[in-house]
């Protein structure tokens, strides 16, 4: 079995309307790492994330998964291995019950019914939402929706979990639960977010994007503690690092 | 979510998830019965009214056995009724042949065919809605695929239904934001309406794209898959044969006329 490493080589992307969104992005992400992808609005975070499972194809350079470039031919395999949790859970939950929504991925993988049910309950159990399995998704609260959206991805047991703004619209308790959940995952996590405190708590490494370019990359504390760098790219030094003791 | 309640998103979905003997029947069998029903309704001659009456048994029995509230179906039929009214509107004006005399009133063929159209409309639309309510859109589309409908069409139908609610919700949010900034005036100018509809289209396309991406991200390849594939059993067969027999009987033998004949002693 190949190691699920993700490698981005000199990636450039230009939207069909001519807007250039990414230039010369290169980085390598090993299995099991938790990466924070930060940057101001319009820095290119979401655009970059969409390249990771082939929702967008690079105009230049390439994205390699386990050593093979993502192309139309390898798309199915890549999508099985890279799960994306979208920014708006309403986009992700489209079936009539939570169960059906979580079962959607495993069913598309062609798993037998018993295995599908086991995966669904396992994933819901993991995010603490098993009791909601028969509820229609649009009746859930924001935090529950987010947890179920994560479960829909866990059910396909990906090697890499990509999350776009996972803590947006969550109340403090929901956010805390999310952080604990993310810390507990053994898979690779790539988290695009403005929630820098979450990055400090969950990630080991951080990539700073500005204007479609990588402007800094390194260990979380080293980068985020650099006030000058943070301010220069529309960010700030997180509160949590200003104190000697965590609170 | 208020918007959701307003457009009754999911009421049909919720009904479709009930677990009654009717819901457990194979989707294909139910579809076949409804298609036969529609064919029967349509095959009656244009002035027919009394012959259509016994056919109301079908929707009512299904609603009863599927625990589908009458109001849920009736409201939606009423919503679509204007279309039928327009279709039949000119019949009374164009077709003035007197066909029936009730005391001092002479009823023209136009009026009879007009009422016949309304009856047929009510019967067929309610049957289709009940089919949806007792099967659920997903199983329905999966059933269509298994009946040999090309996956492309079945998927189209599924998306059409899903995005209907998406667009509805989107429209409600836009109208709300316009209302909040229109200083109490209830009327929207034509210009605002045209911008709104344009925006609505763009937003729905964006959103549809995001939903589609979420689907392909989880391995959707155009084929609709369901967890519990039903295999038609003797119950399903009985359902189909029973109703088919009823439709044929009603089509060729009018119980109302027979009853009248029996009461008056004429044959």
DSSP conformation letters of B194-233: HHHHHHHHHHHHHHHHHHHHHHHHTT--S----SS-----
Q: Are B38 and B109 within one domain?
A: yes
Helix axis angle, B137-146 relative to B27-43, nearest 10°? 80
Show the DSSP H helices in A136-238 as ranges: 142-154, 172-184, 196-202, 220-224, 227-232
Q: Are B80 and B192 within one domain?
A: no
Whether B70 maps to a domain, the answer reads yes
- CA separation for the pair B67, B19 (Å, rounded): 9
Q: Are B198 and B249 within one domain?
A: no
Whether B217 maps to a domain, the answer reads yes
**Residues of the domain holding B160:** 149-228
Chain A's closest residue to B209, CA to CA, is A91
Whether B143 maps to a domain, the answer reads no
**Residues of the domain holding A204:** 6-237
Q: Are B119 and B176 within one domain?
A: no
A6-14 vs A20-29, strand pairing mode: antiparallel
Say which DSSP state B52 is in. G
Task: Find chain B residues with C-beta within 8 A of A86's C-beta.
Answer: 210, 213-214
Q: Least CB-CB distance to A91: which of B136, B137, B211?
A: B211
- CA separation for the pair A71, A74 (Å, rounded): 5
Whether A171 maps to a domain, the answer reads yes
- Say which residues have a Cβ less than 8 Å from residue A90's Cβ, sequence separation at least 6: A138, A145
Whether A246 maps to a domain, the answer reads no
Each residue of A25-69: pLDDT tens digit? 999 999 999 999 999 998 999 999 999 988 889 999 999 998 889
Max CA pair span of chain B:
73
Query: What value does the mean pLDDT take over residues B234-248?
Result: 92
Whether B9 maps to a domain, the answer reads no
Whether A243 maps to a domain, the answer reads no
Is B227's Cβ below 8 Å from some Cβ in A? Answer: yes
Residue B232 pLDDT greater than 90, yes or no: no
Each residue of A78-130: pLDDT tens digit? 888 999 999 888 888 878 789 989 999 999 888 898 999 999 999 999 999 99
Q: Are B41 and B87 within one domain?
A: yes
Each residue of B33-87: pLDDT tens digit? 999 999 999 998 888 888 888 999 999 999 999 988 888 888 888 888 888 888 8
Q: Are B73 and B167 within one domain?
A: no
pLDDT of residue A11: 94
Q: Of all residues in chain A, what percent are helix, strand and coil, respectively (each to 5)?
A: 40, 25, 35
Say which DSSP state B55 is in. G
Q: Which contiguous run of DSSP H or E holds residue A65?
A: strand A60-65
Cβ contacts from A onto B, under 8 A: 76
Q: Are B113 and B47 within one domain?
A: yes
Is B162's Cβ below 8 Å from some Cβ in A? Answer: yes
Whether B255 maps to a domain, the answer reads yes
Q: Are B48 and B121 within one domain?
A: yes
Query: What value does the mean pLDDT take over residues B199-208?
Result: 86
Whether B13 maps to a domain, the answer reads no
Whether A244 maps to a domain, the answer reads no
Q: Least CB-CB distance to B217: which of A55, A103, A110?
A: A55
Whether B176 maps to a domain, the answer reads yes
Q: Least CB-CB distance to A107: which of B10, B217, B227?
A: B227
Whichever domain contains A108, its CATH number is 3.40.50.300
Whether A245 maps to a domain, the answer reads no
Angle at B12 between CA B145 and CA B174, to 5 degrees: 105
Whether B68 maps to a domain, the answer reads yes
Query: Sign of torsion, CA B118 B124 B125 B130?
Result: positive
Angle at B200 between CA B197 and CA B203, to 5 degrees: 155
Domain count, chain A: 1
Domain count, chain B: 2
Neighbours of A138 (CB within 10 A): 18
C-alpha dist (Å) from residue A242 to A120, A179, A183: 41, 20, 22
Whether A242 maps to a domain, the answer reads no
Q: Are B105 and B186 within one domain?
A: no
CA A104 from centre of chain:
19
Q: Go through B186-210 and write b for each residue having 16 or more CB atoms within 10 A of its CB, e for each that does not.
A: eeeeeeeeeebeeebeebbeebbeb
Q: Are B24 and B118 within one domain?
A: yes
Task: Find chain A residues with C-beta within 8 A of B4's C-beta.
Answer: 138
Residue B253: Cβ-neighbour burial (10 angstroms; 0-12, 13-18, 19+): exposed
Closest among B73, B64, B69 to B128, alpha carbons compared: B73
């Amino acid at each position: 079995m190949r190691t699920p490493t993700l490698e981005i080589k000199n990636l450039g992307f230009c939207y069909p309307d001519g807007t250039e969104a990414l230039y010369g992005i290169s980085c390598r992400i090993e299995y099991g790492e938790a990466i924070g992808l930060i940057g101001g609005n319009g820095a290119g975070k979401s655009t970059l994330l969409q390249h990771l499972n082939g929702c967008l194809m690079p105009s230049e350079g390439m994205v390699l998964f386990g050593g093979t470039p993502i192309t139309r031919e390898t798309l199915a395999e890549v999508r099985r291995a890279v799960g994306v949790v979208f920014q708006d859970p309403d986009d992700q939950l489209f079936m009539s019950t939570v169960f059906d929504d979580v079962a959607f991925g495993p069913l598309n993988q062609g798993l037998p019914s018993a295995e599908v049910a086991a995966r669904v309950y396992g994933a819901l159990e993991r995010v603490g939402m098993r009791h909601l399995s028969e509820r229609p998704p649009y009746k859930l609260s924001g935090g529950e929706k987010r947890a179920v959206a994560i479960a829909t991805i866990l059910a396909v047991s990906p090697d890499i979990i990509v999350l776009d703004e996972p803590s947006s619209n969550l109340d403090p308790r929901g956010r805390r639960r999310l952080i604990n959940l993310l810390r507990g995952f053994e898979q690779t996590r790539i988290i695009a977010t403005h929630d820098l405190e979450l990055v400090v708590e969950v990630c080991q490494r951080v990539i700073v994007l500005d204007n479609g370019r990588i402007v800094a990359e390194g260990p979380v504390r080293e980068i985020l503690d650099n006030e000058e760098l943070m301010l220069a790219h529309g960010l700030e030094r997180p509160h949590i690092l200003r104190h000697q003791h965590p609170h | 979510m208020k918007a959701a309640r307003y457009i009754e998103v999911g009421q049909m979905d919720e009904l479709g998830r009930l677990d009654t003997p009717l819901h457990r029947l194979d989707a294909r069998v139910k579809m076949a019965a409804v298609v036969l029903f529609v064919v029967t309704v349509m095959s009656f001659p244009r002035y027919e009214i009394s012959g259509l009456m016994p056919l109301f048994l079908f929707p009512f029995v299904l609603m009863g056995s599927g625990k589908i509230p009458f109001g849920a179906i009736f409201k939606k039929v009423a919503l679509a009724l204007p279309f039928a009214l327009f279709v039949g509107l000119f019949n009374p004006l164009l077709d003035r042949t007197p066909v029936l005399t009730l005391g001092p009133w002479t009823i023209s063929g136009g009026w009879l065919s007009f009422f016949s159209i309304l009856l047929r409309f009510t019967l067929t639309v309610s049957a289709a809605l009940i089919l949806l309510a007792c099967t659920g859109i997903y199983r329905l589309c999966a059933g269509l695929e298994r009946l040999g409908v090309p996956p492309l069409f079945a998927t189209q139908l599924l998306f059409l239904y899903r995005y209907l609610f998406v667009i509805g919700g989107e429209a409600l949010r836009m109208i709300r934001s316009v209302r909040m900034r229109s200083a109490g005036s209830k009327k929207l100018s034509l210009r605002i309406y045209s911008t709104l509809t344009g925006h609505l289209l763009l937003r729905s396309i964006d959103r549809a794209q995001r939903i589609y991406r979420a689907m392909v991200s989880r391995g959707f390849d155009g084929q609709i898959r369901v967890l519990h594939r039903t295999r038609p059993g003797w119950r399903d067969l009985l359902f189909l044969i029973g109703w088919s027999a009823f439709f044929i009987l009603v089509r060729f033998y009018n119980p109302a006329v027979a009853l009248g004949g029996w009461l008056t002693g004429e044959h």
